[in-house]
């Protein structure tokens, strides 16, 4: 079990480290609430994909992104509540195990985006859980310096990496620099990776733009 006592770093502490040590050409996916709002405030970029109102889906999207973009580092920030909501995504990451995927799990012990309700098992060792799911390179991090070491010491890996960041809950909603539009976020990411847009049709039969 991990210690979830007080005096932990904040999400902002880790985000500043992440912004200062992003690998070249990195794509960053952030889950709903302050995970996205704060990251947009700290490091707004076209290579960011911000989730809105889709709890637990940041990890499966990031897995697909890592598979589709094998030459680019993909970093996903998911919360402990979102992870527990869609545990199958972690198991699938362990099964596919893409070496360019880094999973950052913010462990604050609460459902921060919905008001701060306590998790059913706030002290669960999520790094051990990730290892059991097949992500061998998984570790609990209790201070920003530990994240610095991991980001700067990126060596050739045989699979994905999962870093569980112990943080204080941040229940006060951060105001992002601009309102999020999910469609705009999708189009920005498509442009950043050079993917063609999918043109929807009212009754099905959509196609890729230019096809």
Please report the pLDDT score of residue 67 as a whole number: 97
The reply to whether 6 falls in a domain is no
Q: What is the pLDDT of residue 55?
A: 83
Residues belonging to the chain: 211
For the entire predicted model, the pTM comes to: 0.87
Domain count along the chain: 1
Per-residue pLDDT of 118-148, as tens digits, reads 777 777 899 999 999 999 999 999 999 999 9
Mean pLDDT for the chain overall: 87
Does position 210 have pLDDT exceeding 50, yes or no?
yes
Q: Is 208 exposed, middle or buried (0-12, 13-18, 19+ CB in 10 A)?
A: exposed
Q: Give pLDDT tens digits for 3-36.
A: 444 578 999 999 999 999 999 999 999 998 889 9
Q: Is residue 24 part of a domain?
A: yes
76, pLDDT greater than 90: yes
pLDDT (0 to 100) of residue 177: 87
- 4, part of any domain: no
pLDDT at 182: 84
Q: Is residue 69 part of a domain?
A: yes
Report residue 154's pLDDT band, with 50, 70 and 90 as the boundaries: low
Which residue, among 27, 18, 29, has the nearest Cα to 72 in the 3D structure?
27
Other CB atoms within 10 Å distance of the CB of residue 47: 19
Residue 200 confidence (pLDDT): 67
Distance of CA 90 to the CA centre of its chain: 12
Residue 202, pLDDT score: 64
Give the mean model confidence (pLDDT) for residues 164-190: 87
Q: Which domain holds residue 84?
A: 11-208
78 token code pair = 């998911």
CATH (domain of 203): 3.40.50.970
Query: How would residue 197 be classed by pLDDT, with cut points 50, 70 and 90?
Result: confident
Task: Please give the average per-residue pLDDT across 196-202, as a whole number.
Answer: 71
């Amino acid at each position: 079990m991990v210690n979830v006592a007080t005096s932990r770093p904040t999400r902002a502490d880790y985000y500043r480290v992440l912004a200062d040590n992003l690998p070249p050409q990195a794509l960053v996916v952030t889950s709903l609430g302050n995970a996205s709002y704060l990251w947009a405030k700290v490091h707004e970029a076209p290579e960011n994909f911000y989730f809105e109102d889709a709890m637990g889906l940041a990890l499966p999207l990031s897995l697909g992104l890592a598979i589709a973009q094998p030459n680019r580092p993909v970093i996903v920030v998911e919360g402990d509540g979102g992870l527990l909501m869609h545990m199958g995504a972690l198991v699938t990451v362990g099964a596919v195990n893409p070496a360019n995927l880094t999973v950052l799990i913010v462990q604050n012990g609460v459902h921060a985006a919905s008001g701060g309700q306590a998790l059913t098992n706030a002290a669960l060792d999520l790094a051990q859980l990730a290892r059991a799911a097949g992500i061998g390179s998984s570790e609990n991090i209790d201070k920003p310096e530990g994240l610095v070491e991991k980001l700067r010491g990126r060596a050739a890996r045989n699979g994905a990496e999962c870093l569980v960041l112990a943080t204080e809950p941040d229940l006060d909603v951060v105001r992002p620099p601009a309102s999020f539009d999910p469609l705009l976020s999708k189009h920005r990411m498509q442009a950043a990776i050079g993917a063609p847009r999918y043109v929807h049709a009212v009754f099905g039969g959509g196609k890729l733009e230019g096809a």
